[in-house]
Amino acid sequence: MTEKTRNIGIMAHIDAGKTTTTERILYYTGKSHRIGEVDDGAATMDWMPQEQNRGITISSAATTTYWNDHRINIIDTPGHVDFTAEVERSLRVLDGAVAIFCAVGGVEPQSETVWRQADSYEVPRIAFVNKMDRIGADFFSVIQEIREKLGATPVPLALPIGAESSFSGTIDLITMKERHWNSGDSGRTIEEHPIREDLLLLAEEWREKLLDAVSAHSDEITERILDEQEVPPELIRTILRQETLKRSLVPVYVGASLKNIGVQSVLDGVIDFLPAPEELPPLQGMHPKKGEPVLVERTDEGQTVGLVFKIQTDREAGNLCFVRLYQGTLKSGTAIFNHNQGKRERVNRIFRMHANRTEQTDRLVAGEIGVIVGFKIAQTGDSFGSEGFPVILERMHFPEPVISVAIEPRTMSERERLQEVLQLLTREDPTFLWKEDEDTGELIISGMGELHLDVLVTRIVEDYKVNAKVGNPQVTYRETITSEMDHTEVFHKVIAGKENHAELTLRVSPRKRGAGNHFESSVPLSKLPDPFASAAARGITGAFNSGISLGYPTVDIRVELIDAVYSELTATEFAFEAAGAMAFDNACRKAGATLLEPVMKVTVLVPQDFMGEVINGITTRGGLVHAVESRPGVEHILAEAPLKKMFGYSTALRSTTQGRGNYSMEFSHFAPDSGR
């Protein structure tokens, strides 16, 4: 059993200190014998050359370490919005998470995005307010933002002693002791002292708030408070654990990872408050053929059930499939069944990962995360396990790419190699797509942002040694319709002397923005039996990505098949599939096509002196400023702007603010095109 196992992720906005915190965790737990620094390009978990060069996390790195007789499987996820797929697939398989917030920046845009992703997978969390040593650090402001922006109930378990350059330690609100980390041994040893008199009043105030928070969930604590009895630390921890697992409370720690303060407290919190795998409720999957619900118990006994959550290509080993095992046991040298693909796969070898290093093991049990070598056909999100226990777990959902560039090899002899590499990268990254333009023959790659595509192109050129050139970034548009329309399509074609005939009537109508496409049929199978009904549906849904008048994928269209005519003599699947595609295209043209462009949520952090110029720059680019939030020494400008006007914005912002401003940008929604 895995009652002493924790599967956790470390998540935050870029530059909140995720990787720096992870490096301290590895050092204090004995996994590494020196602290790797992000700024030096030496962070253990940032092992890709680009991560070391750019000082950011691009790929989710996994490792296993130990603390207080517990195994902790850690995934350090990217903080940049362009790599949201890495966060999504990590949260899908984790049992708990540590959310890190910058004491200066507070709850920033990617913090909100990742928090929502964690909410969707019902992941319990603890929080760590980091960087208390920085100018402008404000612990209490961050607590307020967690409450207001995230809708969570934060419960501080520690208070900072001082701030900025005077930050020197914490006050433990459970034990009511001061804690000070020894700078002489990189914070390995911690000294505890009684709370000094000038801090006692503040500590007692926040201790009372802590007791108020837990007493709302415990009659025993309430009675002890009313009877003016001491509340034991273990009782507080028990109720906090209970409510953290229910996601009704979020324990909050404080520190400064770069100064080696506070990290061991977070490790204690992982053990104390985040769940072991078997403490979570059973998973609900679906029978792949019957569509009936199937319960997956979190036990190492019984049938095997697992999920592929990431695929990475290794030049020597081939496909490295990162997996989470939910039920049963998986042994190397055995065969399993991929329920999504409907085929058997072989488990040649099993590894545990430490960044880019591997440690071989002979098996995984329920609750563990590992890497399988040997899978040939598995895709991200595939469910696998015992052939006699068919179940498909909920798949991960990834956003559509919003930016594209043309990429071409410098010599025609390299074109085939480039296409092979693009196929490999597509398998690794679900938010990366490529296609060959039907009219020009150009290879078009699409991703989540300029940085995302820049990283991928660098990998193509430097890692895979393909000499390629790229064009300027292009926006990925969408098409939709403006009115409801009925259309009847008659398809008739004689092929090799055989008639192929189909007649369909569709009704298309616009849906709410962001609702996506939806197809349904009101024609009974008695009037249009299978396989012709299925062929018509394939033709209609297959045309969703073909565009209307400009060839961009369609969105937010409701399609209803309202009538059909078929003859047993001339009806063919080919005819009904072709009629479906043509009917959709012609109905949408008659309904009036309109172009939609991606609009981005933009957050700019600038000193107050430059605020006016920056707001003017956003407005000039067609943006709309929604709010300005003031923080000590910095202004947060919250805006929306069309993506096509934001190319090159980082250079413009650096110029305007003399290098003192920075920004983040993520997809918000599609809106009618503002004109090209």
Task: Determine whether the annotation assigns residue 17 to a binding site.
Answer: yes
Residue 262 CB neighbours (<10 A): 27
- AA letter at 599: V
Residue 558: C-alpha distances to residues 388, 502, 517 (Å): 38, 22, 6
- CA–CA separation, 650 and 659 (whole Å): 10
Residue by residue, DSSP assigns 215-277 as HTT-HHHHHHHHTT----HHHHHHHHHHHHHTTS-EEEEE-BGGGTBSHHHHHHHHHHHSPPG
180 is in an annotated binding site: no
Residue 549, beta-bridge partner list: none
DSSP sequence for 545-579: GG-SSS-PPB-SEEEEEEEEE--TTTB-HHHHHHH
- Of 170, 141, 162, residue with least CA distance to 265: 170
Q: Are 147 and 209 in contact (CB under 8 A)?
A: no
How much is the CA Rg of the chain, to the nearest whole Å? 28
- Quote the DSSP letter at residue 449: S
Apex 357 CA angle, 351 and 361, nearest 5: 20
130 annotated as belonging to a binding site for a ligand:
yes
Is there a binding annotation on residue 14?
A: yes
19 is in an annotated binding site: yes
As given in the structure block, the two tokens for residue 147 are 């409450």
Q: Is 77 annotated as a binding residue?
A: yes
272 annotated to bind ligand: no
- Count CB atoms within 10 A of the CB of residue 604: 27
Which residue in the block uniquely carries the two structure tokens 């299925």? 534
Distances (CA, A) of 630 to 141, 540, 641: 11, 51, 21
Q: Is 15 annotated as a binding residue?
A: yes
Angle at 264 between CA 132 and CA 200, to 5 degrees: 60
The string of DSSP letters for 458-492 reads: HIIIIIS---EEE---EE--EEEESS-EEEEEEEE
Return the closest-CA partner of residue 253 out of 325, 244, 66, 518.
244
Q: How far is CA 254 from CA 187, 390, 426, in A?
A: 15, 45, 39
Cα(559)–Cα(422) distance, integer angstroms: 33
Q: For 13, how many CA atoms within 13 A lie in the half-sphere containing its CB? A: 22
Q: Is 13 annotated for ligand binding?
A: yes
Secondary element (H or E) of residue 53: helix 49-54
Is 16 labelled as part of a ligand binding site? yes
The 8-class DSSP code of residue 291 comes to -
* 76 labelled binding-site residue: yes
- The residue with tokens 């991929």 is 338
- Strand, coil or helix: 166: helix
The answer to whether the CB of 6 falls within 8 A of the CB of 72 is yes
Three-state secondary structure string covering 632-672 = CCEEEEEEEEEHHHCCCHHHHHHHHCCCCCEEEEEEEEEEE
* Cα–Cα distance measured from residue 187 to residue 182, given in angstroms and rounded to the nearest whole number: 5
Give the pair of three-digit tokens for residue 12: 């935050």
Q: Any known ligand binding at 11?
A: no
Would the annotation count 171 as a binding residue? no
Neighbours of 567 (CB within 10 A): 10
Residue 304 corresponds to which tokens in the numbers above? 């095997």
10 Å Cβ neighbour count for 57? 26
Would the annotation count 600 as a binding residue? Answer: no
- In whole angstroms, give the CA distance from residue 211 to residue 359: 44
In the annotated binding site, the residues are: 12-19, 76-80, 130-133
In the annotated binding site for GTP, the residues are: 12-19, 76-80, 130-133
